[in-house]
Amino acid sequence: MSDIRWGILGTGGIAHTFAKDLIDDGHELVAVGSRVQETADAFADEFGIPTAHPSYEELVSDDDVDVVYVASIHPEHAAHAELALSAGKHVLVEKPFTLNAAQARRIVELAADRNLLIMEAMWTRFLPHVERIRQIIAGGRLGVLREFAADHLQLLPADPRHRINAIELGGGALLDLGIYPLSFASMLFGAPESVHASARFTATGADAATDVVLGYGDRALAVARCASDVRGTNTATIIGTDARIEIDSVWYAPTNFRVVTPQGEVIEEYKTRIIGQGMQFQAREVERLIESGLTASNVMPPAESIAIMRTLDDVRERIGLVYPQER
């Protein structure tokens, strides 16, 4: 395995998942940072991490840390990525990359100025079944891509104090759930030429559900549905002129898929077999890039993360969603 040493900024649920996959996959996790020493200590004890810092500033200043995984809440991603980059650390920042495109551009420019790696932790892109899907598409098996449709509908807590419903924390279905199908559409088709969206809202002002249609001129269409108050099938379909890919639930996590002809013949069936939740594959990419002296992934490039945030900004403009930090 690599000698790259990781630090985790934040101790929430996603940080726990990432830490477990990181350790189980043989990576070196040397430090964690929290705003409270007791919280950092508890996280470090749980995962056997040598150093627990009582502040994010101390974490990013730790000479034993090479790369920082930013696992804080959405509105803090940009500031914490900037903190780590300013301290000379490479950064893997949890999705969504930032709160908006302006923040995304700022941290990407800072990373470029410091000659440091920055990458959005869109872990789905690095999963084995998605890698195989890219190979199939590149090989021309589907013909010309025309349609993509995906759901991400989860039955999450209705408590208005919960993060998912707190607009001041970047809550709502769009940033938490819609980012997955919108990022996947970007991977397939690039930036859209048109954006149409509708939403319904909670009493807190966060979007409970947002449906989006992306247009790519006469080339293609993509439909993305997300909701935080209803459970859906959470499947996805990529349709080309010669065949389609049907991705099982939960499509954005390790799962199975089939390649099916227009006549209904299954010409390939992919079965996922991995250990863990799948967060380790993005960590492998980060370490590969750092060891190769590279600062951008061609699977999840920083420029594309900016473009995706721009699409999210466009969606929010159409549904009238503004976060308090932007007012």
What pLDDT is recorded for position 2? 80
The distance from CA 178 to its chain's CA centroid, rounded to whole angstroms, is: 10
Q: Look at residue 301 and tell me if it is in a domain.
A: no
Q: Over the chain, what is the mean pLDDT?
A: 97
Encoding tokens for residue 221? 């269409």
Counted residue by residue, the chain has a size of 327
Residues 6+ apart with CB under 8 A from 13: none
Residues 184 and 321 in one domain: yes
Residue type at 195? V
Residues 110 and 140 in one domain: no
Structural domain boundaries, residue 208: 128-273+309-326
Q: Look at residue 20 and tell me if it is in a domain.
A: yes
Averaged pLDDT for residues 274-291? 97
The structure tokens 């500033």 sit at 57
The structure tokens 């890039």 sit at 289
Q: Look at residue 304 and tell me if it is in a domain.
A: no
CATH number of the domain bearing residue 90: 3.40.50.720
Residues 45 and 136 in one domain: no
The total domain count for the chain is 2
Q: Sorting pLDDT into bands at 50, 70 and 90, what band is 274?
A: very high
Residues 22 and 134 in one domain: no
Q: Sorting pLDDT into bands at 50, 70 and 90, what band is 29?
A: very high
Q: Look at residue 16 and tell me if it is in a domain.
A: yes
Residues 143 and 230 in one domain: yes
- Rounded to a whole number, what is the distance in angstroms from the first to the last CA of the chain? 46
Q: Look at residue 302 and tell me if it is in a domain.
A: no
Residues 79 and 95 in one domain: yes
Residues 320 and 187 in one domain: yes
Residues 36 and 115 in one domain: yes
The pLDDT > 90 percentage for the chain reads 99
Give the tens place of pLDDT for each residue, 83-109.
Answer: 999 999 999 999 999 999 999 999 999
Q: Look at residue 135 and tell me if it is in a domain.
A: yes
Residues 201 and 318 in one domain: yes
Residues 39 and 71 in one domain: yes
What pLDDT is recorded for position 8? 98
User: HSE on the CB side for 17, CA within 13 Å?
Assistant: 14
CATH number of the domain bearing residue 233: 3.30.360.10
Determine phi and psi for 81, rounding to 5 degrees: -65, -40
Torsion-angle region of 189 (φ positive above 0: left; ψ -120 to 50: alpha; else: beta): alpha
Give the tens place of pLDDT for each residue, 137-177.
Answer: 999 999 999 999 999 999 999 999 999 999 999 999 999 99
Q: Sorting pLDDT into bands at 50, 70 and 90, what band is 1?
A: low
pLDDT of 318 above 80: yes
Q: Look at residue 160 and tell me if it is in a domain.
A: yes
Residues 75 and 160 in one domain: no
Q: How far apart are CA 132 and CA 273, in angstroms?
A: 13
Residues 292 and 258 in one domain: no
Least confident range from 2-6, 49-53, 105-109: namely: 2-6
